[in-house]
Amino acid sequence: MKLDEAFRNYREKIVDRWVEYTLSTYKSSSFFIKEKDKFANPVGGNTREALDALFGLLAKNADPQEFVAPLEQIMRIRAIQEFAASVAVGPIHAVKHITREILSKDKERCHLVQELYDFEFAVDLAVLAAFDLYMQCRERLYQVRIKEIKTGNYILTDSKCPTNLLKINIQESLKTVENH
Amino acid sequence: MAVPKLEQLSKSVVQGPSLATGAVPTKDWMDIPAIFKPGNYAYQAKQEKVAYLNSQPGLSFPNAREWSPEDDDWKLPEGWKDIILKGLKERLDKFRSLKIFMDCCVRCGACADKCHFFLGTGDPKNMPVLRAELLRSVYRNDFTIGGKILGKMAGAREMTVGVLKEWFMYSYQCTECRRCSVFCPYGIDTAEVTMMLRELLHLVGVGINWILEPASNSNRTGNHMGLQPHTFKDNVDFLADDVENLTGIKINTSFNRKGAEVLFITPSADVFAEPGLYTAMGYLLLFEHIGLDYTWSTYASEGGNFGLFTNNELMKKLNGKMYAEAKRLGVKYIIGGECGHMWRVVHQYMDTMNGPADFLEVPKSSVTGTTFNNAASTKMVHISEFTADLIRHGKLKLDKSRNAHVKATFHDSCNPARAMGLMDEPRYILDHVVDNWVEMPENTIREQTFCCGSGTGLNTDEIMELRMRAGLPRANAVKHVIDKHDVNTLSCVCAIDRATLTSLMDYWNPGCKVCGVSELVGNALVMDGENRQELDEGLRTLV
């Protein structure tokens, strides 16, 4: 029995456990796990889609560059939810433990656990990439905030009337001129 | 071996337990306190804004003070609990709907998974049913026999500071979009429960700045921005100049002109902030195209009604201002621009607050002769209804190829869609002004549309993460049509949408632009005597 065949046979089971574990990090996880419609359940749907795609790539030892698309799909969501960085990224790791556990319970395939080095190394690379993507998302979030402030939507609240602001600006620049 | 390892993996070693959400709650919802930390709450209202509003005739915003949601002591007034309970009693007597909503919910859960805040956060207290229970539990405790006798067993609980803090947390994690009420078999309008929670909180001086400052600006100068009349006029004139530079068409504008046929009112963001500016340029071109006899008002210079997000007295006052101005100018009827909650107020509350507006005429288009009987009482027509009618009668010269750079989809803005049933008119317009537009998935449009995630005064940058979570269901559907159909433009008919969806797209779907439907109309209009430049990006082209 070969490892790639075991991955094929167990793909659904491993991915199901992985998705369930990832979604269990949410306070009310049962709906996220149960509802399969991606539009009625964006967190669950995207998590399922992304982890399934990622597993396929990990199992076939794909180019790590290919991990980016599915990882981004999931990290973009987790980066803006109330997770510590480690908890946001942590579930990517879980597939190592889940795969080991599932294979070791199968008497015919338990010997394959010894051959998981490449797979687990690929998972390590995915976890590292997930950290980078997490940070990219956080940075993008701050950029969005800065852009919103710059485009003037903040004027809705944080200012007095613009004419008045103009007066203040003129007074301030006068002061600067005086100081020189 | 593996299972304990996995449990370890789900917890952060570095962070405290409050940040690691870690799986299924182990406590009853009533025992989980609301904890405020930077980023999860909108800033409290400034003392002077509350004091100003409180000083205005007919309004009551007591307990102006310096305070912070992060402090243990919120400096509530003496006897705050009695104030809240008395306020609740008054509202139960005054609003029959509230009494029914408190009594008739059977907690079937049909609404539970329909809220964008729940879908984005996974927080059970964002299930509309549970958000309403925050108030209902107190109602049971003090206003029902069962609750008085059985207490917690009957789902009742006493009003405490902790409960008040929870109300503040979750009534500002609801955008009153009313998607949940579409699915409620009893027709409970959970948005009205949120409105009551916010009203009660204002009785003890608990409110957010992003609502109360625009509201006080509106009361003072007529618009959210606090623009004074000359500034408002200048901004519209700047836009008219821009239109002339782009198209060679001189736009005639008029302000506060008595005897005009129509008063035009739109959100002030349309004349002040991107990308609403381009929508406003669309209005200017459209009205010029048909030679409409209309006027802007520098006093009723705001369609948006932030009173809706505070209390019914302020909502009534801000709505009344539009009609007072229409009366003063002696116009026949009002055309309203692309706005969200202005239309909810006009369509659902205006009539009982300030209506019927009998001093105006039932709107009748002078160009097509169509009478808008749907607006027979409020005398106010939506720009999309008005435009669709013009197209239907062949009164507009349109060239779709001028929108060749646009591959659009349409976001039903919550209030026009769910509160006034405006769903087909914007689509009819899109059919005639762009070659390419596609629908998002069925369970995310029309009545089932997902909110932008930042409505009801939550469009403030300190809660950006919360807004991104709440906007996930909408952004997710947009991503689908981007991936599948190469959509590059998200069109809508609401000013808050135009501001908030822009940020939402910048995070979730960078590169996707946001525009008003009237901007696309403006792009496509063929004007008599035009001297139009090469406008590769329509009215957004820099020349």
In this structure, is residue A160 part of a structural domain? no
Q: Is the pLDDT of residue B17 over 60?
A: no
CB neighbourhood size of A168 (10 A):
11
A21 contacts B6? CB cut-off 8 A: yes
Report d(CA B267, CA B300) in Å as an integer: 10
Nearest residue of B to residue A104, measured between CA atoms: B2
Residues 409-468 in B contacting A (C-alpha not used; CB under 8 Å): 441, 443-444, 459-461, 464-465, 468
Cβ distance A43 to B214 less than 8 Å, yes or no, reads no
Tell me: pLDDT of A164 over 90. no
Which residues from chain B sit within 8 angstroms of residue A32, using beta carbons?
122
Residue B214: what residue type? P
Partners of residue A46 in chain B, C-beta under 8 Å: 476
Of the candidates B103, B160, B87, the one whose C-alpha atom is nearest the C-alpha of residue B136 is B103
Each residue's pLDDT tens digit, B155-175: 999 999 999 999 999 999 999
Cβ within 8 Å, pair A163-B269? no
Nearest to B233 by CA among B256, B260, B212: B256
pLDDT at B8: 72
Please indicate if any CB of chain A lies within 8 Å of the CB of B32: no
- E strands, B270-359, are 294-296, 333-336
> Given this model, what pLDDT does residue B69 score?
96
Confidence label for B1 from pLDDT (cuts 50, 70 and 90): very low
Cβ-Cβ contacts under 8 Å for A66 (sequence gap 6 or more): A57
B214-242 pLDDT, tens digit per residue, is 999 999 999 988 888 999 999 999 999 99
Tens-place pLDDT, residues B96-135? 999 999 999 999 999 999 999 999 999 999 999 999 999 9
- Identify the CA nearest to B203 among candidates B59, B307, B52: B59
- Inter-chain touch B123–A25, beta carbons under 8 Å: no
What pLDDT does residue B272 have? 87
Average pLDDT in the A142-165 region?
66
Question: Is the pLDDT assigned to residue A163 strictly greater than 60?
Answer: no
Q: Is residue A180 scored above 70 in pLDDT?
A: no
Distance from CA of B107 to the nearest CA of A (A): 16
Cβ count near B420 (within 10 Å): 18
* Strands (E) located in B12-150: none
Contact B486, B498 (CB under 8 A): no
pLDDT interval class at B27 (50, 70, 90): confident
Of B124, B213, B477, the CB nearest to A27: B124
Residue whose token pair is 């998972």: A123
| Whole-angstrom distance, CA of residue A72 vs CA of residue A54 | 11
Could you tell me whether strands B408-410 and B380-382 are parallel, antiparallel, or unpaired per DSSP bridges?
A: unpaired
Distance from C-alpha of B489 to C-alpha of B342, rounded to nearest angstrom: 24
> B85 CB near a chain A CB, below 8 Å?
no
pLDDT (tens digit per residue) in B420-477? 999 999 999 999 999 989 999 999 999 999 999 999 999 999 999 999 999 999 999 9
Range from A153-157, B32-36, B149-153, B202-206 carrying the lowest mean pLDDT: A153-157
**Residue ranges per structural domain of chain B:** 29-207, 214-540
Contact A28 B124 (CB under 8 A): yes
Report whether the peptide linkage leading into residue B356 is cis, meaning its omega lies within 30 degrees of zero.
yes
Q: Quick one: B106 exposed, middle or buried, by C-beta within 10 A (0-12, 13-18, 19+)?
A: exposed
Tell me, yes or no, whether A175 lies in a domain: no
Residue A174 lies in a domain: no
Tell me the C-alpha distance between B191 and B188, whole Å.
Answer: 9
HEC readout, B177-197: CCHHHHHCCCCCCHHHHHHHH
Output the pLDDT for position B13: 61
| In the predicted structure, residue B3 carries a pLDDT above the cut 80 | no
For position A155, what pLDDT does the model report? 52
Exposed e or buried b per residue across A145-165, where buried means at least 16 C-beta atoms within 10 angstroms of its C-beta: beebeeebbbbbbebebbeee
A80/B507 Cβ within 8 A: yes
Helix (H) or strand (E) holding B288: helix B276-290
Report the pLDDT averaged over residues A104-123.
Answer: 91
Mutation pick from B5, B8, B10 vs chain A, by most beta carbons of A within 10 Å, is B10
Q: Which residues of A touch B20 (CB under 8 A)?
A: 83-84, 87
pLDDT score for A160? 47
What local confidence, expressed as pLDDT, does residue A79 receive? 96
Task: Give CA–CA dist B90/A43, Å, rounded.
Answer: 41
Mean pLDDT confidence for B177-200? 95
Q: Report, as an integer, the average pLDDT of B508-512.
A: 97
Q: Copy the structure tokens of residue B445.
A: 């449009």
**In the A/B pair of chains, how many CB contacts fall below 8 A?**
178
Q: Taking CB atoms and an 8 Å cutoff, what residues of chain B touch A81? A: 120-122, 465, 469
3-state SS string for B416-460: HHHHHCCCHHHHHHHHHHCCCEECCCHHHCHHHCCCCCCCCCCCC
- B509, B478 contact by CB (below 8 A): yes
Amino acid identity for residue A40 in this structure: A
Measured at the CA of B142, the angle between CA B138 and CA B146, to 5 degrees, comes to 95
Mean pLDDT, all residues of chain B: 93
Question: What whole-number distance in Å separates Cα of residue B380 and Cα of residue B300?
Answer: 14
**Best mutation site among A144, A151, A166 for testing chain B: the one with the most B CBs within 10 Å?**
A144
pLDDT in tens, B354-407: 989 999 999 999 999 999 999 999 999 999 999 999 999 999 999 999 999 999
DSSP structural state of residue B536:
T
The pLDDT-based confidence of B6 (bands split at 50, 70, 90) is confident
Q: Is B231's CB within 8 Å of A143's CB?
A: no
Question: Which of B113, B460, B465 is facing A141, going by the closest CB pair?
Answer: B465
Nearest to B40 by CA among B166, B176, B160: B166
pLDDT at B157: 95
pLDDT score, position B14? 56
CA distance B403 to chain A (A): 25
Mean pLDDT across A151-166? 51
Judged by a CB distance cut-off of 8 A, whether residue B208 touches chain A is no
Domain assignment of residue A9, yes or no = yes
The whole-number pLDDT of residue B141 equals: 96
* Cβ within 8 Å, pair A81-B476: no
Beta bridge partner(s), residue B123: none
Number of CB atoms found within 10 A of residue B7's CB: 12
Measured between CA atoms, how close is A180 to chain B, in angstroms? Answer: 32
Chain A, nearest residue to B126 by Cα: A28
Q: What is the DSSP pairing of strand B513-516 with strand B489-492?
A: parallel
Closest residue in B to A95 (Cα–Cα): B6
> Got the DSSP string for B125-187?
GGSHHHHHHHHHHHHHHHH-HHHHHHGGGGT-----HHHHHHHHHHHTS-----HHHHH-TT-
What average pLDDT score do residues B494-516 get?
96
**Which pLDDT score, from 0 to 100, does residue B225 have?**
86
> With 50 as the cut, is the pLDDT of residue B22 above it?
no
Residue A156: per-residue pLDDT:
47
Instruction: Give the pair of three-digit tokens for residue B485.
Output: 């159909």
Looking at residue B470, what is its pLDDT? 97
ipTM of the complex: 0.89
Total number of domains constituting chain A: 1
pTM: 0.92
pLDDT for residue A166 is more than 90 = no
- Domain range spanning residue A129? 3-151
